[in-house]
Amino acid sequence: MTKLSLNVLMAAVILAVAAPVKAEDLVVTQYKADPSGAPFAVSIEKGFFKKAGVDIEVISGDGGGTSVRNVIASDLGYGETSPAGVIAAILEGQDIKIVNLGSRSLASNVIIVMPNSPIKTIQDLKGKKFGISNPKSLGEMTAVLAMEKGGMKPDDLQRVALGGLSGALSALENGVVDATSIPGVLFLARGAESKYRVIMGPKELPFLPPAIGIASGKLMKNNPDKLRAILAGRREGVKFIYEHKQEALPTLIKLYEPLPAKDTTTLVNQLVDAKFWSEGKIEMELLQNAVRAMKYVGMLNSEPDLSKMIDTSFLPSDLQK
């Protein structure tokens, strides 16, 4: 081998060793608008994913079927999105499984009325109009399960689709609807208690998981250790938020900017108190609540076999039961 060839070979080896490994993209629905994804930000910041053996970056998904399709099409094949879109996709034959629970309840939302409204409790909504973004949305599921929790039938409330959360808020402010539900981040950003009155807060809202983790068949078959590392790293982020809340806050305040730091602090305090984030363990009752809500809003006509949609084998061993 000539001296020139040897130098070229050595340079190539050095470049290959020095080149940074590109982080893999992981899809999380409404990452910077919905607090379900907070553990990912903490685990990235604190190095929990790298310690577990994986390097990731988070990209935000739009939700529903779009996020499911994005997960399936991604190189990684893992993400978190709402259960309704996941269940519908599995029933359509998509090669994915539910592998972890992300968040446990609708505590990231609030149900609100205007300050001068005569409505004081969820029972007072019987026969009233409830603003939702779109049919079959999480907002509509929130409405029907809230009515159920209040001892009423879902159809005791008239759901009015208004095309988006901004439309629902405008309709509420102009008296077109009597109540609506919105994410806590938006509630705080729009003026919170100075502008609206909460009739059902974080700790009172039904247990329906806004986010569940899904993995593609390709990821589960070809890179099972990578999936285990993701779930283990995410779990450490959840534990850190619960056990070291004050240390986690700077990361979350940055994540939810331009929401003021005091509002993010309020939101995180409420969600910690409501045990909003899950370490990953599958709670069947919560998924069954999601199925029931899907039936109420016309997304399902029969009872799906949830057990066939779930694979807990990639979770840390103590969370698999």
Residues 93-150 pLDDT 10s:
999 999 999 999 999 899 999 999 999 999 999 999 999 988 888 888 899 999 999 9
Phi and psi at 111, nearest 5°, equal: -100, 125
**Integer Cα distance of 277 and 35 in angstroms:** 9
118 or 163: whose pLDDT is higher?
118
> Does the pLDDT value for residue 53 go beyond 70?
yes
In a domain, 273, yes or no: yes
Domain identity same for 265 and 301: yes
Whichever domain contains 69, its CATH number is 3.40.190.10
Q: Stretch 279-304: mean pLDDT, rounded?
A: 94
Q: How far from the centroid of its chain's Cα atoms is residue 67's Cα?
A: 11
Task: Answer yes or no: is pLDDT of 198 > 50.
Answer: yes
The answer to whether residue 5 scores a pLDDT higher than 60 is: no
3-class DSSP state of 14: helix
Mean pLDDT value across residues 77-90: 92
Domain end point (choices 178, 200, 222): 200
**What total number of domains does the chain contain?**
2
Note whether 79 and 214 are same-domain residues.
yes
Considering the domain architecture, whether residues 217 and 304 belong to the same structural domain is answered as: yes
Distance of CA 43 to the CA centre of its chain: 16
**Is residue 281 situated within a structural domain?**
yes
Residues 215 and 272 in one domain: yes
Side chain identity at residue 134, one-letter code: N
pLDDT at 8 over 60: no
What range defines the domain where residue 42 resides?
Answer: 22-105+209-319
Give the residue from 152, 183, 200 where a domain finishes: 200
Question: Do both 148 and 271 map to the same domain?
Answer: no
17 lies in a domain?
no
Asked if residue 256 belongs to a domain, the reply is yes
Same domain for 93 and 26, yes or no, is yes
pLDDT given at position 2:
56
**For the chain, counts of helices (H) and of strands (E):** 13, 10
pLDDT exceeds 60 at position 289: yes
Higher-pLDDT residue of 133, 275 = 275
Q: Which helix (H) or strand (E) holds 98?
A: strand 96-101
Q: So what's the pLDDT on residue 13?
A: 47
